[in-house]
């Protein structure tokens, strides 16, 4: 043996030393298969029996692996292939299953008969098990993600259904209360009862809106309608609304606001500020002022709401923006709330490209909002005001299957001086819509026999030109989008905001 051959053999022996690699040669004409030491170790074969017929090799394999090797070899020889690859599991002594990968080089004589076979075998158990483990982990992650997404969808659906079930009675109660109030009943007990119902209905409506808003914000389905606005005007308007509604004593909130422009959804930013101010008022002694300041700093508008209450405990402050976080509350729960207001604040501010943070001490708490500053608009001529449409009587068709909600809404519209007709299902509503041609149609989405979406499509196809307003107890963004795509001019969630409904009708 030459020195080079000796070196190669030593290298091969070294490569086979760990028992994960071996090779063999086989002569077809003499049926002689020579095992390398590494191959014998791989199959736990005695070192003195390294030369056997091919049957000895096959006997060392478990039945499944034996069949795979035999079938692969027969197929390769049949097509005169120069190489063959195979992969199978092998039952090693002790019962452990191992993965084996092999490659074979086939040589043929002048008559194209197989003459010699040289093969290598690798123990690839670790690689296969790692790949299988990765596949299990990926599949587990996929299943977990699918379950989480399903749970998220179920969460949205539950809230949507809850909103739908509560909005219908709320809508009827709200409209009914306004009807009673406008009838001018002078009985003080009746008036007080009406005011209680009105307050509680408004409270329920606010809670439902808050629940649906935080669901939309967390799922990324909340849509902002941004415009240039003065931050000071937004803050002042929010404070005045709180004062007029009695939620903030007049003069208690102190404003210090320069002229600063921002690009925001005004209604949503009012919602943010309202939450912060109501929180401050709730947890601050009556005589203490609430300070609201704004300034420009490093390309940002910074708004702070400072109170002088007892402060927020450190363990609560850490989670103050978490969903349902409420901290310590007395048993009477006068502060109330669902524990989602500050979560909504954080998400709404983030949707505006801003940040919000809270700091606190024994002297009080400070909530700080940071928003990108906007360039002041260039004003053109005119005062920019829009003339308000004149009040006038309209012909209105109400299509609503809930008897109480329909009666209350029709009564409210009649008190406004409109000529009102109604229908309680989709087919009759469509028939009246096409025949009567009202100027305004208020259509519930969830109608029996023909839903509001299909009704709107058919009405527009029939040439109905009037204002169509969709109403729904679900209040989800996809409902509003689908309504607009079906031919409606506007979508309103229940309970209906009477003032907003009047504005929509006046736009006609």
Given a cut of 70, is residue 323 above it in pLDDT?
Answer: no
Each residue's pLDDT tens digit, 444-472: 998 989 999 999 999 999 999 999 999 98
Predicted pLDDT of residue 326? 52
DSSP 3-state of 208: helix
Task: For residues 145-164, give the mean pLDDT.
Answer: 68
Q: How confident is the model at residue 328 (pLDDT cuts 50, 70, 90)?
A: very low
- CATH number for the segment(s) 3-123: 3.30.450.20
ω before 271 within 30° of 0 (cis)?
A: no
Identify the weakest region by mean pLDDT among 19-23, 35-39, 369-373, 436-440: 19-23
Identify the weakest region by mean pLDDT among 130-134, 215-219, 482-486: 215-219
Q: How confident is the model at residue 437 (pLDDT cuts 50, 70, 90)?
A: very high
361: β partners: 364
Given a cut of 60, is residue 390 above it in pLDDT?
Answer: no
Predicted pLDDT of residue 451? 94
Distance CA 459, CA 482 (A): 16
Looking at per-residue confidence, does 36 or 397 come out higher? 397
Each residue's pLDDT tens digit, 276-310: 999 899 888 877 899 999 999 999 999 999 998 88
Predicted pLDDT of residue 124? 86
What secondary structure, in 3-state letters, does 298-317 show? CCEEEEEEECCCCCCCHHHH
Find, among 323, 305, 287, 322, the residue nearest to 360 by Cα: 305
Each residue's pLDDT tens digit, 169-208: 667 677 767 776 676 656 676 666 677 677 667 667 766 7
Tokens of 379: 């004003």
Torsion angles phi and psi, residue 208, rounded to 5: -65, -45
Predicted pLDDT of residue 334? 41
Predicted pLDDT of residue 391? 53
Share of the chain above pLDDT 70, in %: 77
Q: Report H helices in 18-83.
A: 37-42, 54-59, 63-78
Distance CA 196, CA 199 (A): 5
Crossing angle of the two packed helices 498-506 and 125-182, in degrees rounded to 10: 80
Given a cut of 50, is residue 34 above it in pLDDT?
Answer: yes
pTM of the shown model: 0.44
Could you tell me the residue ranges of all domains in the chain?
3-123, 154-222+391-508, 229-329+336-372
Predicted pLDDT of residue 393? 84
Q: In what order do the strands lie in the sheet with 97-108?
A: 51-52, 32-35, 21-27, 114-123, 97-108, 83-91
Tell me, what DSSP letter sits at residue 373? B
The per-residue DSSP string of 29-47 comes to TTTEEEEPHHHHHHTT--T
Task: For residues 79-103, give the mean pLDDT.
Answer: 82
- CATH number for the segment(s) 154-222+391-508: 3.40.50.2300
Given a cut of 90, is residue 359 above it in pLDDT?
Answer: yes
- Name, in order, each residue with C-beta under 8 angstroms of 364's C-beta and a sequence gap of 6 or more: 284, 288, 306, 307, 308, 309, 310, 311
Identify the weakest region by mean pLDDT among 180-194, 327-341, 366-380, 470-484: 327-341
Find, among 207, 264, 270, the residue nearest to 235 by Cα: 270
Contact by Cβ (8 Å): 305, 284: no
Predicted pLDDT of residue 455? 96
The per-residue DSSP string of 248-271 comes to S-TT-EEEE----EEEE-HHHHHH
Task: For residues 476-500, give the mean pLDDT.
Answer: 85
Tokens of 271: 């919602």
Assigned fold of 229-329+336-372:
Heat Shock Protein 90 (3.30.565)
């Amino acid at each position: 043996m030459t020195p080079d051959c000796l070196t190669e053999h030593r290298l091969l022996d070294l490569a086979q030393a760990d028992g994960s690699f071996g090779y063999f040669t086989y002569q077809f004409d003499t049926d002689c298969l020579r095992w390398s030491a590494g191959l014998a170790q791989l199959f736990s074969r005695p070192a003195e029996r390294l030369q056997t017929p091919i049957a000895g090799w096959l006997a060392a394999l478990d039945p499944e692996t034996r069949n795979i090797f035999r079938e692969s070899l027969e197929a390769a020889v049949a097509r005169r292939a120069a190489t063959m690859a195979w992969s199978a599991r092998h039952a090693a002594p002790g019962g452990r299953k191992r993965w084996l990968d092999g490659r074979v080089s086939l040589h043929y004589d002048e008559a194209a008969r197989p003459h010699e076979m040289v093969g290598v075998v690798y123990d690839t158990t670790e690689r296969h098990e790692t790949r299988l483990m990765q596949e299990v982990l990926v599949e587990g992650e996929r299943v977990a993600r699918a379950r989480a997404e399903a749970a998220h969808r179920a969460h949205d659906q539950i809230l949507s259904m809850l909103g739908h079930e509560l909005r219908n009675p709320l809508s009827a109660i709200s409209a009914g209360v306004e009807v009673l109030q406008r009838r001018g009943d002078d009985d003080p007990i009746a008036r007080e009862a009406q005011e209680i119902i009105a307050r509680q209905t408004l409270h329920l409506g606010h809670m439902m809106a808050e629940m649906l808003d935080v669901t939309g914000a967390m799922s990324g389905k909340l849509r902002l309608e941004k415009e240039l606005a003065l931050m000071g005007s937004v803050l002042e308007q929010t404070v005045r609304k709180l004062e007029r509604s009695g939620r903030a004593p007049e003069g208690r909130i102190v404003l210090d606001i320069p002229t600063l422009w921002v690009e925001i959804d005004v209604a949503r930013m009012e919602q943010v500020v309202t939450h912060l101010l109501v929180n401050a008022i709730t947890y601050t002694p009556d005589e203490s002022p609430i300070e609201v300041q704004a300034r420009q700093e490093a390309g940002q508008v910074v708004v702070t709401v400072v109170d002088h209450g007892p402060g927020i405990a450190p363990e609560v402050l850490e989670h103050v923006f978490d969903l349902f976080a409420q901290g310590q509350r007395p048993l009477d729960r006068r502060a109330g709330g669902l524990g989602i207001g500050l979560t909504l604040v954080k998400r709404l501010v983030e949707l505006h490209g801003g940040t919000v943070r809270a700091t606190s001490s024994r002297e009080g708490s400070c909530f700080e909002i940071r928003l990108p500053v906007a360039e002041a608009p260039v004003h053109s001529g005119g005062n920019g005001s829009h003339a308000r449409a004149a009040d006038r009587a309209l012909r209105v068709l109400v299509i609503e299957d809930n008897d109480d909600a329909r009666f209350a809404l029709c009564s409210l519209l009649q008190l406004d001086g409109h000529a009102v007709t109604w229908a309680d299902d989709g087919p009759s509503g469509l028939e009246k819509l096409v025949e009567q041609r009202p100027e305004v149609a208020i259509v519930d989405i969830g109608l029996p026999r023909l839903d509001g979406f299909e009704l709107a499509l058919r009405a527009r196809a029939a040439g109905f030109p009037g204002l169509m307003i969709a109403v729904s107890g679900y209040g989800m963004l996809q409902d509003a989008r689908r309504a607009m795509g079906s031919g409606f001019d506007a979508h309103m969630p229940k309970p209906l905001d009477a003032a907003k409904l009047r504005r929509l009708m006046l736009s006609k």
